[in-house]
């Protein structure tokens, strides 16, 4: 079965959608599917390295670009899409607002190829309220038709699905989570490797944030909460790339709260380095204002860490139901209280961390997810015959 994935970027610095496709596509190859990923790229981004990694795992990659303008368009886009769709069985479209998603849907419909759209949280109310007027116009002129003609809408959590109900979309919903590569997490790095690279941490307790440094990630809540919590000798480690220059704003918050000697910025960590960082943390915290899935949350759990997340992270029901950490509103005092509770009780952290690791390894294996997609794709193509 020939599957086409289309996405506007595979640069891992772009966050969740790019990271997810880098896990899903190779897993589907291992499950026996013929997988092609078409993606736009921009000058000097990280797409080439990401493409090489996926290609080495049997995924056929087509890079289109360099993309130009707010819709990330390129003159060869239609020709590349049309060529890739020859004899395709399913087109799986990731994200919403760029030209590649729109043209993928329209060309697939013209060729009578069933297509799935994964909104990547972009239909959540918080997301739709960002650049609200532009998105309303785009929805009316293009997107609603594309969504309603899809054979399915792919959501990664029940909450993401439920948040879109007010839109009254016609296509059926599928809930299938993102996953992790269990090979990275089965044998965790020995403790101390990350701390050895940052000797200023020493043996101090670590609260870790791992995500893009972006306004929606709740750092304007986490930093004052960390200051308010007054955690004796603890450090806050912020792992992730700067997104759109927001790092300067965050550094200003750190200075404002007098935390310069207690906050460490590492930049983006990849591969074993990021897992070693999670292993050496005591607690993970992500108080985002909106998080469609939160792959970093799953990775922290797989590394055996309890998590403190906001009630705007769509995984929060899972965390509460399985006692894997705390779910709090995006309020400074609430986050500070959760930090105090967890950082004062090492045995509670140990027990919750073990539950988190067991749950993550059992639930978010890309191999199982890819197998389920193979079955779903077969059912979809049969239903169109």
What would the pLDDT profile of 272-282 be if each residue is shown by its tens digit?
A: 999 999 999 99
CB atoms within 10 A of CB 355: 17
Please report which confidence band the pLDDT of residue 46 belongs to, taking 50, 70 and 90 as the band edges: confident
Query: With contact defined as beta carbons under 8 Å apart, do 317 and 297 qualify?
Result: no
For the segment 97-112, the average pLDDT, to the nearest whole number, is 97
Share of the chain above pLDDT 70, in %: 99
- List, for residues 175-225, the tens digit of each pLDDT value: 999 999 888 999 999 999 999 999 999 999 999 999 999 999 999 999 999
Torsions phi, psi of 46, nearest 5? -95, 20
Task: Please report the pLDDT score of residue 376 as a whole number.
Answer: 96
Provide long-range contacts, Cβ within 8 A and 24+ apart, for 147-153: 147/117, 147/171, 149/105, 149/109, 149/115, 150/93, 150/105, 150/115, 150/116, 150/117, 151/114, 151/115, 151/116, 151/380, 151/383, 151/384, 152/116, 152/117, 152/376, 152/380, 153/116, 153/117, 153/118, 153/119
291-320 in b/e form (b: 16+ CB < 10 A) is bbbbbbbbbbbbbbbbbbbbbbbbbbebbe
Nearest to 282 by CA among 298, 263, 306, 259: 306
The sign of the torsion formed by the CA atoms of 123, 124, 125, 129 equals negative
Query: With contact defined as beta carbons under 8 Å apart, do 67 and 74 qualify?
Result: yes
Please report which confidence band the pLDDT of residue 43 belongs to, taking 50, 70 and 90 as the band edges: confident
Please report which confidence band the pLDDT of residue 383 belongs to, taking 50, 70 and 90 as the band edges: low
Give me the residue spans of the domains in the chain. Answer: 2-179+365-383, 183-363
Task: Please report the pLDDT score of residue 15 as a whole number.
Answer: 77
Please report which confidence band the pLDDT of residue 28 belongs to, taking 50, 70 and 90 as the band edges: very high
CATH fold of the domain at 2-179+365-383 = Rossmann fold (3.40.50)
Averaged pLDDT score across all residues of the chain: 95
CATH fold of the domain at 183-363 = Rossmann fold (3.40.50)
Task: Please report the pLDDT score of residue 84 as a whole number.
Answer: 96
Residue 269, token pair as written in the block: 């960590």
């Amino acid at each position: 079965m020939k599957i086409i994935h289309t996405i506007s970027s595979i640069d891992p610095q772009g966050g969740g959608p790019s990271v997810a496709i880098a896990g899903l596509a190779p897993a589907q190859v291992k499950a026996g599917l013929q997988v092609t990923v078409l993606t736009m790229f921009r000058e000097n981004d990280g797409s080439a390295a990401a493409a090489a990694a996926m290609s080495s795992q049997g995924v056929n990659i087509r890079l289109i670009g360099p993309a130009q303008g707010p819709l990330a368009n390129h003159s060869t886009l239609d020709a590349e899409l049309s060529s890739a769709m020859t004899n395709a069985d399913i087109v799986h479209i990731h994200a919403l607002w760029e030209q590649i998603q729109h043209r993928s849907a329209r060309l697939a419909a013209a060729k009578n190829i069933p297509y799935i759209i994964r909104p990547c949280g972009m239909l959540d109310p918080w997301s739709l309220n960002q650049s609200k007027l532009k998105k309303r116009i785009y929805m009316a002129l293009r997107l609603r038709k594309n969504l309603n003609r899809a054979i399915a809408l792919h959501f990664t959590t029940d909450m993401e699905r439920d948040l879109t109900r007010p839109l009254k979309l016609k296509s059926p919903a599928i809930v299938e989570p993102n996953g992790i590569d269990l090979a990275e997490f089965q044998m965790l790095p020995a403790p101390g490797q990350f701390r050895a690279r940052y000797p200023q941490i020493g043996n101090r307790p670590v609260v870790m944030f791992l995500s893009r440094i972006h306004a929606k990630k709740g750092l304007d809540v986490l930093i004052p909460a960390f200051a308010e919590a007054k955690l004796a000798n603890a450090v806050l480690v912020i792992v992730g790339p700067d997104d759109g220059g927001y790092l300067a704003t965050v550094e200003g918050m750190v200075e404002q709260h007098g935390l310069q000697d207690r906050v460490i910025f590492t930049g983006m960590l990849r591969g074993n380095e990021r897992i070693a960082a999670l292993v050496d943390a005591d607690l993970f915290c992500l108080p985002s204002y909106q998080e469609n899935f939160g792959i970093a949350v799953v990775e922290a759990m797989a590394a055996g860490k309890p998590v403190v997340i906001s009630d705007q992270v769509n995984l929060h029901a899972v965390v509460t139901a399985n006692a894997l950490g705390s779910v709090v509103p995006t309020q400074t005092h609430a986050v500070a209280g959760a930090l105090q509770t967890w950082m004062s009780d090492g045995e509670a952290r140990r027990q919750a961390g073990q539950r988190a690791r067991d749950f993550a390894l059992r639930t978010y294996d890309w191999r199982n997810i890819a197998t389920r997609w193979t079955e779903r794709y077969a059912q979809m193509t049969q239903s169109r015959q």
